[in-house]
Amino acid sequence: MDFLFLIAGIAGLWIGTELTIGGALAIARRHRWSEFFVGLVILSIGSDLPELAIAVDAGIKGLMGQDASGVVVGSSIGSVVAQMGFVLGLGAAISYLTLPKAFVVKHGSVLLGATVLLFLVALDGHVSRTEGLILITIYFIYVTALMNGGTAPEEDPIRLAHGGFRSWTLLVAGLAVVIYSSGLTVDSVVRIAHTFEISEALISVLFIGLGTSLPELSISISAILKKKTHMSVGNIIGSNILDTLLPIGITALIAEMTFERQLLYFDLPFIFVMTAVVLAFFYVKKGVTRPEGLVILGFYATYVAVKLVQF
């Protein structure tokens, strides 16, 4: 039954996120931001609502004496790997993905730096409230800098000039579904982990991480098919920066959390190497073609195989 609740929770997170993104994107585009900016900030925040909701729910449980750190860390790391390895790799297998070198350097360095920062704050096996605040602050400094640099979109503004009552209704309804589903997901993972004596982080990395990446998959593939590759890549990069900093930071700020050594010494270095390889493809080869996409998918397959061995 707990597995059914887990599936229902992940499905609810996906549905709620789709509703929220639809409303948020219509509202945001009224401000005439570029498609890369929309993907990097608006869509990445919207599509990461599942991870953020899980983080808040886990933090509240931590205040009540129930440690759900593994769920937060596992879902965040699993989501980063799934987005960079599976979503971007699949996207490159479908279409040639490009990104200007200036964007690769600017936003890629932030993503690699965020991974290193998370490694450093978790080095002692714990993330304190102060360290959580540092992670949150770094993310909001990054977003603030981006918002100050937002530029007009390439699309016809008339076509994008929506964002009225219907959009706000979708936004609120989506948030409500996400909030409810997050609690259902966290509770079911904790019960499954205790029943089978499996690490909460391991279940979260493999199942929640991939499940909560469905919004990014949907957005990215849709953007690629519409020849909006910058929006697709921007969504993935922005989402990974958020996943690396914000969920863990929010949970730690509410209640101090633990960080498993396996995730610290295998998963984070793996993420760093995979991200560096992907950024190198964009910078050196000026894009990611189908062969490089298959290499990236190979990274993801290797990661999943290693994690399955741990079961």
pTM equals: 0.79
Alpha carbons 299 and 63: distance in angstroms, whole number: 37
- 117 and 245 in contact (C-beta within 8 Å)? yes
pLDDT(91) > 50 = yes
Interacting residues of 267 by C-beta distance below 8 A, sequence separation 6+: 77, 81, 205
- 115 and 268 in contact (C-beta within 8 Å)? yes
Could you identify the residue written with the tokens 């890369």?
36
CA distances from 247 to 15, 51, 132 (A): 20, 6, 9
- 27 and 218 in contact (C-beta within 8 Å)? no
Q: What is the reported pLDDT for 220?
A: 72
pLDDT digits (tens, 9 = 90+) for 283-304: 987 789 999 999 999 999 999 9
Alpha carbons 195 and 36: distance in angstroms, whole number: 44
User: Which of 167, 219, 228 is CA-nearest to residue 27?
Assistant: 167
Alpha carbons 47 and 43: distance in angstroms, whole number: 6
- 60 and 66 in contact (C-beta within 8 Å)? no
pLDDT digits (tens, 9 = 90+) for 270-281: 999 999 999 999
pLDDT(186) > 70 = no
pLDDT(259) > 70 = yes
Q: What is the reported pLDDT for 156?
A: 41
Enumerate domains of the chain plus CATH numbers: 2-309 (1.20.1420.30)
DSSP 8-state symbol, 82: I
Q: Is residue 283 exposed (0-12), middle (13-18) or buried (19+ Cβ within 10 Å)?
A: middle
Structure tokens at 37: 């900016």
Mean pLDDT in residue range 201-222: 71
What does DSSP say about strands 126-127 and 257-258: parallel, antiparallel, or unpaired? Answer: antiparallel
Express as a percent the part of the chain with pLDDT over 70: 78
User: Which of 258, 259, 219, 257 is CA-nearest to residue 236?
Assistant: 219
